[in-house]
Structure 1
C-alpha cells in the first residue's frame, strides 16, 4: 500500500484522503505543528494542499525529504512576483503588471494602466483578502506595509472567467479536464460550470499555456490555472500548484476526480484522460449552515467540510451533474429556495452557462 502525507489538514487534504481510500493509498493530512516523529514520513510521498507555510519542526523535516513532490516549486508559485516573472519568461499573456515598491510609482502606474489599478499582496491574498482596487483618489487606503510586498496590475475589462485543471506525471504525460466557467462575488468563487463538450474557443489556448508551465517547472501532480476571457483571448490571472476549488465538480462529474488524479500523478499510477459525460454545476457553500433539505434533490451531491461556520468561510460545496438541461434547471430553481438570498444571482448565472 502506498502512503502519502499532505502538508495541511484543511478540506483539500480531507478530500485527498477520501480519494485515496478506493485506490489503496493511505493519505495523512497533517497540520503544520504536527510532530514529525509521529508520522509515517520516511516511507511516504509528500504533497501539500497549501502553497506556503511557516517554519515548524514538521516543515523543517519535510524540507529535507527527497520525496516531497514539487518541494521547490511551491515557494516560487506562492509568491506572485516570481509567478508573474515565470509567465513573462514563457511569453504567456497576463494583465500588465509591475512590482509595487514605493508610493512614488503611482503617477506612472496610472499613466500606464489607466484610472483603476489592482494591488495584490505577493503572498496570500485569496478569496477577496489582501487585494485592493485603487484609483488616484483612493491610494491612501492602501496600508503602508504593502510597499515592497505587493504587485500592481492593470484592471482588465474581462468578459468572463474560466479555469483549467490539468495534471502531469514524472514521465511528462499530461491530461486535462474541460475548462471550467467560474463566477466570483467579492473575490470568492460562488459557482462553477463545466461541460462534456470542450469549449474549443478557449480549451486549446488554455491547454497550450498550462502545458508550457507544467513542462517548464517539471511539475508533478494537479495544477489549476485561472484566466480572464477577453476579446483578444485568455489572460492568465493566477496559478495554483494543487487541487483547486474550481475543480471540485470533478468529484461527481468526471470518471476520475482531481483528487484521485493528483494521487495517481504523484504516486506514478496510470493516468488516463478523465471522461466527462454530462454538464456539472458546483455551488460553493460560504458562511451558511448545513441544511439537510438540500438532500431532497436527487441530483445533489453534498460535500460538507465539518468546519465552524463563519461569514465568508467556505464550509462545503454542492455538485449537480446531469445530461438533461431541463432537469438541472428545475433542480437549481428548487435548490435556490433553500440557500441564502445572495445565491440567487449565482444560480441564475449557472443556468445561463448551459
Structure 2
C-alpha cells in the first residue's frame, strides 16, 4: 500500500484520506503542531492541504523529505507578489497590480490602477480577510502597516466569478473539471454550480490558461484557478496549489473527485478523465449548526466536517447532483426551509443560475 502524508489535518486532509481508500493508498493527515514526528519512509510521498505553514518540528521533517511533491510551488503561490509575477511571466491575464512599497502613494495607485483598487496581504488572508479597499471618492490612503506586506490590484468590474480545477500527473498528462460558477459573499465562497452549458464556450480558454500554469510549474496534482469573467474574457484572480472548495461538488457529481485525482497524481496511480454525472450544486455551511434533517432531503449529500461551529466558519457542505432542474430545485427549496434566513439569497442565486 502506497503511503501519502498530508501536511495539515483539516477537512481537506480528511477528504483526501476518504478518497484514497478505494485506491489502496494510505493517506495520513498530520497535525503540524503535533509533538510526535511522522515516521517517514524513503518511498513515502508528502503533499499538503494548505499553501503555507509555520516552521515546526513536524513541518521541518516533512519539508526535508525528497518526495514532498510541489514543495517549491507552495511558497511561490502563497505569496501574492510572486504569484502575480508568475502570471505576468506566463502571459496570463490578471488584474493590473503594483507592490505596496515604501514609495507608493495612493494618488499613484488611483492614477495607474483606477479609482477603486484592492490591497491584499502578500501572505495569509483568505475568505475576505487580509484585504483593504482604496477608493478615490473617499480619499483613502495606504496604512503604514500595509507597506511591503501587500500588493494592490485594480478593482475589476466583472460579470461573474468562476473557477476551474485541473490535475496533472508526473508525465504531464492533464485533465480538467468543468468551469464552476461561484457565489462569493463577503469574500467567502458560499455556493457553486457546475456544469453550465452557457460556459462551455469558455472551457477551452480556461483549460489552456490553467494548463499553461501546470506545465510551467511542472506541477503534479490538483490546482484551482479562480477567475473573473469580463465579457468573453477570463482574468485570473487567485491560484490554489491544492484541492479546493470550488470543486467539492466533484465528490458527488463526477466519476473521479478532485480528491481522488490529487491522490492518483501524487501517488502515481493512473489518471482517468472525470465523467460528470449531471448538474451539480454545492452549498457551503458557514457557521451553521448541525441539523440531521438535511440527510432526509432527497438528492442531498451533506458532508459535516466535525468542527466547532463558529460564526462564518466552514463547518460542512451540501451537494445536489441531478439530471433534471425540477428535482434539483425541489431539493433546494426543502433545504432553504432548514437553513438560516441569510441563505435565502444564496438558494435564490443558485436556482437562477441552474436555469440560466
Same fold (TM over 0.5): yes
The residue matched to 2:341 in structure 1 has which SS? Answer: coil
The residue matched to 1:342 in structure 2 has which SS? Answer: helix
Distance in 1, matches of 2:25 and 2:156, equals 43
Instruction: Give the alignment of 1:238-277 within 5 angstroms.
Output: 238-277=238-277
In 1, are the aligned partners of 2:8 and 2:29 still within 8 Å (CA)? yes
Tell me what 1:112 maps to.
112
Tell me what 2:123 maps to.
123
Tell me what 2:140 maps to.
139
Instruction: Give the alignment of 1:98-247 within 5 angstroms.
Output: 98-102=98-102, 104-136=104-136, 137=138, 139-140=140-141, 143-195=143-195, 197=197, 199-247=199-247
Aligned pair count reads 353
In 1, are the aligned partners of 2:17 and 2:27 still within 8 Å (CA)? yes
* Superposed structure 1 runs of 4+ greater than 4 Å apart: none
In 1, are the aligned partners of 2:37 and 2:57 still within 8 Å (CA)? no
TM superposition shift of 1:9: 0.4
In 1, are the aligned partners of 2:43 and 2:67 still within 8 Å (CA)? no
Distance in 2, matches of 1:102 and 1:151, equals 12
The residue matched to 2:212 in structure 1 has which SS? Answer: helix
In 1, are the aligned partners of 2:249 and 2:280 still within 8 Å (CA)? yes
Q: Deviations over 1:123-143 (max 9, x none)?
A: 111101001122133535x64
Q: What runs of 5+ residues in structure 1 fail to find an aligned partner?
A: none
Q: 1:38 to 1:46 in 2, by over 3 A?
A: closer
Q: Deviations over 1:19-57 (max 9, x none)?
A: 111211111000112346443454420000010111111
Distance in 2, matches of 1:178 and 1:184, equals 18
How big is the alpha-carbon RMSD for the aligned residues of Structure 1 and Structure 2? Answer: 1.4
In 2, are the aligned partners of 1:182 and 1:192 still within 8 Å (CA)? yes
TM superposition shift of 1:103: 6.4
Distance in 2, matches of 1:173 and 1:304, equals 33
Distance in 1, matches of 2:49 and 2:313, equals 17
Tell me what 2:306 maps to.
306
In 2, are the aligned partners of 1:5 and 1:41 still within 8 Å (CA)? no
- The range that moved more, 33-42 or 210-219, is 33-42
Tell me what 1:61 maps to.
61
Q: Deviations over 1:53-93 (max 9, x none)?
A: 11111121122211000011100000000000000001100
- The range that moved more, 224-233 or 102-111, is 102-111
Distance in 2, matches of 1:134 and 1:68, equals 39
Q: 1:14 to 1:196 in 2, by over 3 A?
A: same
- The range that moved more, 267-276 or 197-206, is 197-206
Q: What runs of 5+ residues in structure 2 fail to find an aligned partner?
A: none
Distance in 1, matches of 2:260 and 2:198, equals 21
TM-score normalized by the length of structure 1: 0.97
Tell me what 2:93 maps to.
93
TM superposition shift of 1:268: 1.1
TM superposition shift of 1:270: 1.2
In 1, are the aligned partners of 2:182 and 2:191 still within 8 Å (CA)? yes
The residue matched to 1:119 in structure 2 has which SS? Answer: strand
TM-score normalized by the length of structure 2: 0.96
TM superposition shift of 1:295: 1.3
Distance in 2, matches of 1:335 and 1:113, equals 42
In 1, are the aligned partners of 2:38 and 2:58 still within 8 Å (CA)? no
